[in-house]
Amino acid sequence: MVPAVSEAYNSCIPMLCLSSDIGLVSVEQGSLTDIDQEALMKPITKWNQRIKIGSKIPYLFRKAFRMATGGVPGAVHLGLPENILEDEVRFTEQELKGSPLTGHNAPFKYGPDDADLALVADMLVNAKRPVILSGGGVHLSVAYEELATLIQTFHLPLATSINGKGAISELSAYSIGVVGANGGSLEGLKIIQQADFVLALGSKLNNVTTIGKTLFNDKCKIAQIDISENLLDANIRTDIAILSDIKTFLVKLLSKLKEKDLKEPSKLDTWNEFVDQKMMEKRARIQKDIEKEEDLVTPAYFFDALWHLTDEDTYFIADAGTPTPYLSSHLRQKKAGRQTVLPRAHGSLGYALPGSIGIQVAKPGHKVIALHGDASFCMAAGELETAVRCNLPIVFINFQNYAYGWIKTIQKLYFDEKYFAVDFGKSFNAAKVAQGFGLNAKTVYSNEQVKEGLEWALNLEGPVLLNLMIEPPTKTIPPVLKWEKDAAKPVDERIKLTY
């Protein structure tokens, strides 16, 4: 439970964690299962409390939901001692629920100061090579409509962090796709490095997104908008940092730009032609990856087939490791929305399998695809029983290369191929493990079998696992920009990125 709560807290996902606890009378007496849950949860929650008086349950639940959804969203925790669980407490439904105005429907939002807003508007209007950089804050604020209006009205190219993927449709003529160290592209990097103004919306601008602070040129002006004061101006020097909800900011920015009566978006034609050229180069490069012939399944070929066989309402959830950079780089999200889910706070292993169950329960009628590698699968395989028992039609995709692929690649590139504790035995078989839980499962050994295998998996009722045999990371490096660049350098010139 602790890793899940910490991931939600650091990914700004509202979560209420309820835990049972020993009775208050047994605290600090060496009782079985006794642990200080409040101390355990304090560093990984916005707010946490042990309920000591039953009559306070309605108030504490109202506060828990308010704390989880208000301001910067995050995880909260309520501990329920055994004696409280045994109490009879009377309260009305209204006492428990309180006001419905929470989350992105809340009436109280941080907004930009008029002077700051005017400054950002001027910076945007006067820029010759502007770029919007969207992080996860656009999803949390549900600001898709406002963002699309800004981009389409003023012809602004938009890039995203991994968390921001889906801020707009990646089929849009203005989409650069994901930028950064993980899943970013050299073409996207060249675009951002040419920008003279970047408007960062709800992005931490951390080392992954900025590739160790090398994403922007020295003369680029940067405006950062975020609802968290802790993240403003924290990682990158900005020219202006504004504490604001993203949707509120965009509504006011659009109004301010309308006042300026901007009628010359055509002045960006040359800039957009440069962006278009780089995007054509990116697609051509990826097409070469798709057409590359290997003995086993190539992830680039698989993700191309997956893109063609799934619709715009499909949800994708991936673990850290092999699936994340390919999903970020190679699978263009067809419409705006949070339909790509990745655990980017900790890069957790074992997240996709239980996470996909949560998504499928929340979104019945939608296809949910969970993508994981060997290690992630093994960490959470027990949840396959839940998927079978609940008859959830999730498609589980396992990338089997008998390794902790991400860690092994780091050891290959930066530690002189001194491999330690990264390899699985060849007896491991994810398909047989899944069948043991009652799933239909099939192993795919080559690109020629991918389309047939995917069609089989997508059309079955109930949970199914497709096991892809892929090349080891020592042979095929995934689209991690820093790795791709370092692989071409002598070993003594490679410098591992600090996350």
CB neighbourhood size of 17 (10 A) = 22
Is 245's pLDDT higher than 90? yes
Distance CA 211, CA 221 (A): 18
Same structural domain, 38 and 149: no
Residue-level pLDDT at 394: 98
Domain membership of residue 445 (yes or no) is: yes
- The more confidently predicted of residues 28 and 217 is 217
Q: Model confidence at 27, in pLDDT bands (50, 70, 90)? A: confident
CATH number at residue 33: 3.40.50.970
Q: Does residue 286 lie in a domain region?
A: no
The confidence score (pLDDT) of residue 71 equals 85
By residue count, the chain amounts to 499
Is the model more confident about 70 or about 311?
Answer: 311
Q: Which of 171, 146, 176 minimizes the C-alpha distance to 159? A: 176
Residue where a domain stops, chosen among 54, 75, 105: 105
CA 146 – CA 330 distance, rounded (Å)? 26
pLDDT at 265 over 70: no
133 inside domain: yes
Residues 367, 467, single domain; the answer is: yes
Q: pLDDT-derived band of residue 337, with 50, 70 and 90 as boundaries?
A: very high
pLDDT at 93: 82
The amino acid that residue 450 corresponds to is V
> Which pLDDT belongs to residue 101?
57
Closest-CA residue to 37 (of 59, 13, 20): 20
In a domain, 282, yes or no: no
In tens, the pLDDT along 7-25 reads 999 999 999 999 999 998 8
E-strand stretches of 120-180: 130-134, 158-160, 175-178
327 and 371 in a common domain: yes
Question: Is the confidence at residue 425, as pLDDT, over 70?
Answer: yes
For 191-207, how does the pLDDT look when each residue is reduced to its tens digit (9 = 90+)?
A: 999 999 999 999 999 99
Instruction: Verify that 143 and 95 share a domain, yes or no.
Output: no
What's the whole-number mean pLDDT along residues 387-395? 98
Backbone angles phi, psi at 396, to 5 degrees: -95, 125
Q: What is the largest CA-CA distance in the chain?
A: 74
Distance between CA atoms of 293 and 449, rounded to whole angstroms? 13
Domain co-membership, 482 together with 385: yes
Whether 106 has a pLDDT exceeding 70, the answer reads: no
Same domain, 309 and 248: no
d(CA 288, CA 151): 30
Are 299 and 432 in a shared domain? yes
pLDDT band at 498 (very low <50, low <70, confident <90, very high): confident
Q: What confidence tier does 94 reach under pLDDT thresholds 50, 70, 90? A: confident
From residue 445, alpha-carbon distances to 143, 205, 319, 357, 455 in Å are 42, 39, 21, 27, 15
**CA–CA gap between residue 332 and residue 172 (Å, rounded):** 10
Q: Which of 58-62, 277-281, 309-313, 432-436 has the lowest mean pLDDT?
A: 58-62
d(CA 182, CA 481): 6
Distance CA(39)–CA(57), nearest Å, equals: 21
How does residue 99 score in pLDDT terms, banded at 50, 70 and 90?
A: low
Is 300 part of any domain?
yes
**Are the C-beta atoms of 342 and 318 separated by less than 8 Å?**
yes
Is 259 in a helix, a strand, or coil? Answer: helix
Residues 78 and 128 occupy one common structural domain:
no
Residue 325 near residue 182 (C-beta atoms within 8 A): yes
For residues 213-232, give the mean pLDDT.
Answer: 94
Q: What percentage of the chain exceeds 70 in pLDDT?
A: 96
For residues 33 and 210, the model is more confident at 210
How many CA atoms lie within 13 Å of 156's alpha carbon, on the beta-carbon side? 25
Question: Which residue, of 79, 105, 131, is where some domain finishes?
Answer: 105
Domain total in the chain:
3
Name the 3-class secondary structure at 356.
Answer: helix
Q: Which amino acid is at 204?
A: K
Confidence class for position 325, pLDDT limits 50, 70, 90: very high
Task: Tell me the residue range of the domain where 468 lies.
Answer: 292-493
pLDDT tens digits for range 481-496: 889 889 989 988 898 8
pLDDT at residue 496, rounded to an integer: 86
* In-domain check, residue 498: no
Percentage of the residues of the chain whose pLDDT score is greater than 90: 81
Structural domain includes residue 287: no
Using a 10 angstrom Cβ sphere, with 0-12 exposed, 13-18 middle and 19 or more buried, the burial of residue 3 is middle
Asked whether the beta carbons of 19 and 1 are under 8 A apart, the reply is yes
* Distance, CA of 52 to CA of 84 (rounded, Å): 7
Q: Is the pLDDT of residue 358 over 90?
A: yes
Domain identity same for 399 and 356:
yes
101 and 146 fall within a common domain: no
pLDDT tens-place string over residues 437-484: 999 999 999 999 999 999 999 999 999 999 999 998 788 889 998 898
304 shares a domain with 207 = no
CATH number at residue 173: 3.40.50.1220
Instruction: Compute the distance between CA of residue 200 and CA of residue 207 in angstroms, rounded to an integer.
Output: 14
- pLDDT for res 467: 98
Q: Cα–chain-centroid distance for residue 349?
A: 13
**pTM given for the model:** 0.92
Report the candidate in 238, 243, 265 with the shortest Cα–Cα distance to residue 117. Answer: 243
| pLDDT tens-digit readout, 362-385 | 999 999 999 999 999 999 999 999
288: pLDDT strictly greater than 80: yes
* Predicted pLDDT at 109: 66
Show the tokens assigned to 411.
Answer: 């050891």
- Confidence band of 263 (pLDDT split at 50, 70, 90): low
Q: What is the mean pLDDT of residues 133-145?
A: 96
Residue ranges of E strands in 179-291: 197-201, 221-226, 240-243
Whether 247 is in a domain gets the answer yes
Boundary of a domain, candidates 81, 105, 129:
105
Residues 309 and 228 both lie in one domain: no
The yes-or-no verdict on residue 405 having pLDDT over 60 is yes
